[in-house]
Amino acid sequence: MNVEVRYYSKSGNTKKIANAIAKQVGISAKSIHEPLQGEVDILFLGTGIYAFDIDPELKEYISTLNPTSIKMVVVFSTAAIVKSAYEKTKKYLQAQGLNVSEKEYHCPGHYMILRTGRPNSDDIKKAEQFAKSIINSL
């Protein structure tokens, strides 16, 4: 089974969660600037929220994904205010023809004076448990 983790992270919060998920799977998390190779069973795809949306660069990346070589995308996200980037990310993934899991992971991410210290160790632990539950459900 080929599992990949890719993230878009401006300030490192989503990258922390990506690393936790990847560690649980036994692989390395990479930024969206590193292309996927071959067939992918699960793509964990993470992002922050910027100006109440996902970044144009992530939208562009999603438009390059090949739905015939990726079986399922699992979205994870961090944000200071909004509760998740799932719906916004899913919209672009589905428009590209990709299969998106109904399960997602989200936790707060610090921004300026908001959500100081997040993601914290509990957020990391929950991300690891989430990754384990996805892998075990296969």
Ligand X SMILES: Cc1cc2nc3c(=O)[nH]c(=O)nc-3n(C[C@H](O)[C@H](O)[C@H](O)COP(=O)(O)O)c2cc1C
- The pairing of strands 40-48 and 3-8 is parallel
103 burial type by CB count under 10 A (0-12 exposed, 13-18 middle, 19+ buried) = middle
- CA-to-CA distance for 4 and 21, rounded, in angstroms? 10
- As measured in angstroms, the least distance from the Cβ of 136 to ligand X is 26
**CB nearest ligand X: which residue?**
109
- As measured in angstroms, the least distance from the Cβ of 3 to ligand X is 20
Q: Which residues bind ligand X (CB under 6 A)?
A: 9-15, 48-52, 78-82, 109-111
- CA-to-CA distance for 112 and 134, rounded, in angstroms? 32
Q: Which is nearer to ligand X, 27 or 50 (CB)?
A: 50
Q: Which is nearer to ligand X, 92 or 111 (CB)?
A: 111
Q: Which is nearer to ligand X, 10 or 71 (CB)?
A: 10
